[in-house]
Amino acid sequence: MDSAAASASPGPAAEAAQRPPPHMAALVLARGGSKGIPLKNIKPLAGVPLIGWVLRAAIDAGVFQSVWVSTDHDEIEKVAKQFGAQVHRRSSEVSQDSSTSLDAIKEFLLHHKEVDIIGNIQATSPCLHPDDLIKVAKMIREDGFECVFSVVRRHLFRWSEIKGVNKVTKPQNLNPAKRPRRQDWDGELCENGSFYFAKKHLIEGGCLQGGKVIYYEMRAERSVDIDIDIDWPIAEQRVLRYGYFGKEPLKEVKLLVCNIDGCLTNGHIYLSEDQKEIISYDVRDAVGISLLKKRGVQVWLISERCSKTISAMKLDCEVIVSVTHKLRVVEDWINKMSLSWKEVAYLGNEESDVDCLKKAGMSGVPADACATAQKAAGYICKSNGGRGAIREFAEHIFLLMEKVNSQERKLNDLKN
């Protein structure tokens, strides 16, 4: 090669700059055969399918070239796609009770040769935040680590298990004669199972943790794991307080629009002997509407049916009937009130509500809403339509607004 050709050839540094970055894929393993809690991965937690919490965090982190769910179940696949993930249909060989996470990850890599780094995220860790994943991605990509896994600091004294009669236990990590105070003890770092990041060569070699390995310490309030039924209510309260609610969480609701048929009512219509229509609603929902109005939230009730009974309901809020195109009507209201969709909450239950549910800053459906509406909603109530769903949705709105405002106050305090 002459000197001119040599000068034209890119050097090693230039070649490295031209190469695409390693493909980092987030992978959530979610088989359908959970024994502890059936279909646990898509069971609603605080109104969101469990797997949705970690998928939202992974996608919003913006550090993955692809986000995947590995599953053997049709319903889990539908929910995964709803939250923006791609789906790998795993084989029956790695979907058994005896199958390991490593088995499923290795199979995934066999079908996706483009992936260089796997971020295995556990679906049962709903308090995961994007900033955790961003920091870990940097540790792998820039700091040269081959494996990073999550831990949490625990202050627990351990004792040996007793097996057999006439045995005594022994301390494992303390001197009982000199028990340290919590503030004088750093505690221990324990795996919390939230995530395991590893480079491909480690996994292909049969190991999730190895090589140049380091831990990532998660904050205790974000370290939540769900394994059995009794974990569920605790996790629900934790996620409402510490969970990640998206890039632009709702700060303020100024208008709630609610479908009457199937949300305020249970959808049943009764006819008297003289053919007059009778419907019923739950007093808890009337209280919910009153609470919203006291907080400055306007409430508008909407129905596709034409009914004098509906129009005559005395709930001290706007009632509009004979609506043939809900989205068009609601957009007209929003424009007249000089609002944006981000300031609107919508509670619906039918396919005709889907467009509004998708646009609203906060969306909810009763527990017995149709499947299409449930997929479009951000919150699925535990209550059925006509059985307290509006009251429950109102309380969820208050909780979320308080959470966001509290976080904003803390951030401002830190800045000041």
Specify whether 328 is catalytic: no
> Tokens 């490593």 label which residue?
102
Q: 336 to each of 260, 317, 320, 345, how far by Cα in Å?
A: 22, 17, 15, 16
Q: Distance between CA 242 and CA 221 in Å, rounded? A: 7
> Smallest Cα–Cα separation from 62: which of 21, 26, 106, 19?
26
CB 349 within 8 A of CB 369: yes
Give bridge partners of residue 299 from the DSSP assignment.
256
Query: Which two tokens mark 86?
Result: 């791609």
Per-residue buried b or exposed e for 91-110, using 16+ beta carbons within 10 Å of the residue's own CB: eeebbeeebebbbbbbbbbe
Instruction: Give the active site residue among 89, 179, 219, 409.
Output: 179
> 280: helix, coil or strand?
coil
| 263 sits in which H/E element | none
Catalytic residues: 179
